[in-house]
Structure 1
Amino acid sequence: MNEYKEKILKVCNDITKGTLMETLGIEYIDVGENFLVAKMPVTPKVHQPDGVLHGGASVALAESVGSAASYIFLDAQKFYVRGIEIAANHVKGIREGEVFAKAMILHKGRTTQLWEIKITDAEGALVSVCKLTTIALPKT
């Protein structure tokens, strides 16, 4: 991995200390020109009562990776990034292992951005697909 990628991933992982992302075990693992990938362990901590991954945990993962991607691909010195809408479709249950969320930009406007986040299992099977809209608010 090149130095630039390592630096971005370190910043992303360092800012999660003491947050929901740390609580859920979310770790940013890859970044490219138009995407960011994070992983999350599937343990009882993120299960619903019947032992499968809770949809809310999947949505938290999706919003975390999409918002972090917005932060990376916008000028964070000039803007705050906030999620303003998220929609999720859960297509497969998972009880253990890890899930991987890949955020890819669909639209990068000056004010709003639209992200597609696909959550897959370790074998690459689709678990959930989410769409996240973020807004860039100018820092004053």
Structure 2
Amino acid sequence: MELQLPFTLDQGFDALYGLVIDAYDTDAGVMTGHVDVTQNHLQPAGLVHGGVFASIAESMTSLGTWVVVSADGKSAQGLSNQTSFLRPILEGTIHATCRVRHRGRTTWVWEVEIADDQERLCALVRMTIAVR
């Protein structure tokens, strides 16, 4: 499957928080995307909720894996999500860069960097995706 980029997820959970896939190089295993911050993304203290960061990583890496493995009739779904929060994002845009670190027969492992508009690293995510 090939994505028409930018690709806006216009249904389901991803549509609720506004995930947009900006680029995906399947050969290099690198995907980028973003979410524009709104009041709906903030927790009571005014910071983007950590679940938004984790959701971005899970959705992008599941989609990135599925785009490749679906040609063989396989599916992809999140198996493990380990997110480390380094600094808050209060406004602007959340930028995500995902890199495949392992492409196995039954699992893929990705590293995801979440950054703010000033290109400061705000979260690191290690995602393991199950291939079935």
What TM-score comes out, normalization by structure 1 length?
0.85
Aligned partner (choices 34, 49, 53) of residue 58 of structure 1: 53
Q: Secondary structure at 1:123's aligned position in 2?
A: coil
- How many angstroms does 1:63 deviate by? 0.5
Aligned to 1:25: 18
Identity %: 24
Deviating more after overlay: 85-94 vs 33-42? 33-42
CA contact (8 A) 1:85 1:132 kept: yes
Distance across 1 between alignment mates of 2:71 and 2:54: 23
Q: How many pairs were matched up? A: 130
- How many angstroms does 1:11 deviate by? 7.3
Aligned partner (choices 97, 100, 117) of residue 95 of structure 2: 100
CA contact (8 A) 1:43 1:95 kept: no
**What is the 5 A alignment of 1:1-140?**
8-10=2-4, 13=7, 16-32=9-25, 33-137=28-132
What TM-score comes out, normalization by structure 2 length?
0.90
Instruction: Name structure 1 gaps, 5 residues minimum.
Output: 1-6
Q: CA RMSD in A?
A: 1.8
Q: Which amino acid aligns with 2:127?
A: L
CA contact (8 A) 1:12 1:28 kept: yes
1:10-66 per-residue CA deviation (whole Å, 9 max, x = no partner) reads 27836x222111110110001123111110112211111111110011100111111
- How many angstroms does 1:71 deviate by? 1.4
- How many angstroms does 1:8 deviate by? 3.5
Q: Which amino acid aligns with 1:24?
A: Y
